[in-house]
Amino acid sequence: SGAACAALLAVSVIAAQAADIVIGVPNWPSVAATANILKVVMEDNFGVEVELQNATNPVVFEAMDTGSMHVHPEVWLPNQANLHDSFVKQKGTVKMNPNGVEAFQGMCVTKGTAERTGIKNLSDLADPDMAKHFDTNGDGKGEVWIGASGWASTNVEKIRAKSYGYDETMELVEMDETLALAGVDAAVAKKANLAFFCYTPHHLFALHELVILKEPSYDTAKWKVIQPTDDPQWLEKSEAPVAWDLAYLHVHYAASLDKSFPEVASMLSNVKLNTELVSGMTYAIVVDKADPAEYAKQWVKENAKLVNSWMK
Task: Write the CATH number for 210.
Answer: 3.40.190.100
Residues 72 and 110 in one domain: no
What is the percent of the chain where pLDDT is above 90?
92
Note whether residue 9 is domain-resident.
no
Note whether residue 230 is domain-resident.
no
Q: Residue 6's pLDDT band (boundaries 50, 70, 90)?
A: low
Note the pLDDT of residue 36. Answer: 98
Residues 109 and 183 in one domain: yes
Note the pLDDT of residue 150. Answer: 87
Note the pLDDT of residue 64. Answer: 98
Read off the DSSP letter of residue 100: P
Beta pairing, strands 142-147 & 195-200:
parallel
pLDDT digits (tens, 9 = 90+) for 123-152: 999 999 999 999 999 999 999 999 999 899
Enclosing domain of residue 108: 103-222
- Distance (Å, rounded) from C-alpha 164 to C-alpha 278? 31
pLDDT digits (tens, 9 = 90+) for 49-106: 999 999 999 999 999 999 999 999 999 999 999 999 999 999 999 999 999 999 999 9
Note whether residue 6 is domain-resident.
no
Residue type, 152: A
Q: Are 199 and 106 in contact (CB under 8 A)?
A: yes
Q: How many CB atoms lie within 10 A of CB 15?
A: 8
Note the pLDDT of residue 10. Answer: 53
Q: Are 144 and 125 in contact (CB under 8 A)?
A: yes
Residues 215 and 113 in one domain: yes
Q: Residue 4's pLDDT band (boundaries 50, 70, 90)?
A: low
Q: Residue 16's pLDDT band (boundaries 50, 70, 90)?
A: very low
Note the pLDDT of residue 229. Answer: 85
- Distance (Å, rounded) from C-alpha 213 to C-alpha 172? 16
Q: Are 289 and 105 in contact (CB under 8 A)?
A: no
Domain count, the chain: 2
Residue type, 70: H
- List C-alpha distances in Å: 227 to 55, 62, 167, 237, 242: 19, 17, 18, 10, 17
Residues in Cβ contact with 169 at an 8 Å cutoff, skipping those fewer than 6 apart: 125, 126, 127, 128, 130, 131, 141, 142
Note the pLDDT of residue 9. Answer: 54
Last residue of a domain, one of 176, 206, 222: 222
Which CATH number does the domain housing residue 29 bear? 3.40.190.10
Note whether residue 28 is domain-resident.
yes
Residues 265 and 157 in one domain: no
Note whether residue 187 is domain-resident.
yes
Residues 184 and 143 in one domain: yes
pLDDT digits (tens, 9 = 90+) for 193-239: 999 999 999 999 999 999 999 999 999 999 999 999 889 999 999 99
254 pLDDT exceeds 90?
Answer: yes
Residues 92 and 107 in one domain: no
Residues 124 and 186 in one domain: yes
- Distance (Å, rounded) from C-alpha 98 to C-alpha 91? 18
What's the whole-model pTM score? 0.87
Q: Are 306 and 84 in contact (CB under 8 A)?
A: no
Whole-number mean pLDDT of the chain? 94
Q: Residue 263's pLDDT band (boundaries 50, 70, 90)?
A: very high
CA-CA-CA-CA torsion sign (251, 257, 258, 262): negative
Cα-to-chain-centroid distance, residue 231: 22
Read off the DSSP letter of residue 78: T
Note whether residue 69 is domain-resident.
yes
Note the pLDDT of residue 312. Answer: 79
Note whether residue 297 is domain-resident.
yes
